[in-house]
């Protein structure tokens, strides 16, 4: 049995809190009877109506966004900054980001209303690869980059082995790709800072097998059925 407001939220009616308000307003019927009690639990085969319309499980959707810097990866920002949802037009489902990118980080971000897949993809034990194109100030040498690959001692513990490649030196900066499977807060920035080369640009270019593939910044596309299947297959 599930709480009525949880079932309503899953069906995409509104957030759980808003659903509670809708229940309290007497707009919800369970098996034909108005329910206003907030603790009400329902069975999977109970018929739930909101404003006279029977609710059904919401269709799951999956988007890949090329996030620009200057957007927060939350649904709502207390400081009133722009959120990644401001970039998603024409989608009626309530979707949310899979994991986080910093305000200043750009690149590949998945958004979905599939809570199970989100949970799987963001759980540290599943070790999904994420690749970042990093630009740091200065010129780290081979031994510096080896430190990144072998593990850096951060305040929340040593980082897991990473892959570093595609190194390119510029006049004042160095670019390289780093692939990590952890998802700690500001991890790449903290790793580079720790070895003495602060990040000046960070972009996620891959998530598992997904790539940006020329998708312009600020735009999104829907994942294909095959891509969604492949993401779910990572579970097996």
> Applying CB under 6 A, does 186 fall inside the site for ligand URA?
yes
Q: How far apart are CA 178 and CA 200, in angstroms?
A: 15
CB closest to ligand URA, residue no: 105
Q: Specify the 3-state DSSP secondary structure of 66.
A: strand
Sign of CA dihedral 179, 180, 186, 192: negative
- Per-residue x/- mask for ligand URA, residues 43 to 82, rule CB under 6 A? ----------------------------------------
The strand pairing partners of 131, in sequence order, are 179, 206
Distances (CA, A) of 84 to 30, 61, 210: 36, 16, 19
Contacting ligand URA (CB under 6 A), which of 105, 112, 113, 174?
A: 105
> Exactly one of 102, 104, 116, 156 is catalytic; which is it?
102
Looking at 87-95, 100-108, 116-124, 148-156, which segment touches ligand URA (CB under 6 A)?
100-108
Residues in the chain: 236
> Applying CB under 6 A, does 101 fall inside the site for ligand URA?
yes
Looking at 76-84, 99-107, 116-124, 159-167, which segment touches ligand URA (CB under 6 A)?
99-107
Indicate if 76 belongs to the active site. no
Q: How far apart are CA 125 and CA 45, in angstroms?
A: 34
CB 38 within 8 Å of CB 20: yes
> Applying CB under 6 A, does 182 fall inside the site for ligand URA?
no
> Roughly what angle, to the nearest 10 degrees, separates helices 225-233 and 115-122?
50
Q: Which is nearer to ligand URA, 101 or 128 (CB)?
A: 101
Residues 195-214 that bind ligand URA (CB under 6 A): 202
Q: How far is the CB of 133 from ligand URA (least distance, A)?
A: 11
Helix H or strand E encompassing 48: strand 48-50
Task: Give the interface with ligand URA as residue ranges (CB under 6 A).
Answer: 101-102, 105, 186-189, 202
């Amino acid at each position: 049995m599930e709480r009525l407001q949880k079932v309503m939220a899953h069906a995409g009616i509104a957030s759980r809190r808003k659903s509670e308000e809708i229940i309290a307003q007497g707009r919800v019927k369970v098996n034909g009877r108005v329910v206003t009690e907030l603790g009400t639990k329902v069975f999977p085969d109970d018929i739930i109506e909101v404003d006279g319309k029977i609710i059904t499980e919401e269709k799951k959707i999956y988007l890949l966004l090329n996030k620009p810097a200057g957007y927060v990866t939350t649904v709502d920002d207390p400081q009133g900054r722009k959120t990644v949802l401001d970039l998603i037009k024409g989608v009626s489902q309530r979707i949310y980001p899979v994991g986080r990118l910093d305000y200043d980080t750009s690149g590949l971000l998945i958004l979905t209303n599939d809570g199970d897949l989100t949970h799987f993809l963001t759980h540290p034990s599943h070790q999904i690869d994420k690749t970042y194109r990093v630009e740091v100030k200065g010129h780290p040498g081979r031994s510096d980059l080896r430190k990144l690959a072998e593990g850096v001692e951060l305040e929340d513990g040593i980082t897991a082995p990473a892959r570093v490649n595609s190194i390119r030196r510029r006049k004042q900066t160095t670019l390289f790709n780093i692939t990590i499977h952890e998802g700690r807060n500001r991890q790449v920035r903290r790793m580079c800072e720790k070895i003495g080369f602060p990040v000046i640009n960070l972009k996620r270019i891959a998530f598992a097998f997904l790539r940006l593939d020329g998708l312009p910044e600020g735009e999104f596309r829907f994942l294909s059925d095959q891509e969604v299947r492949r993401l779910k297959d990572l579970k097996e």
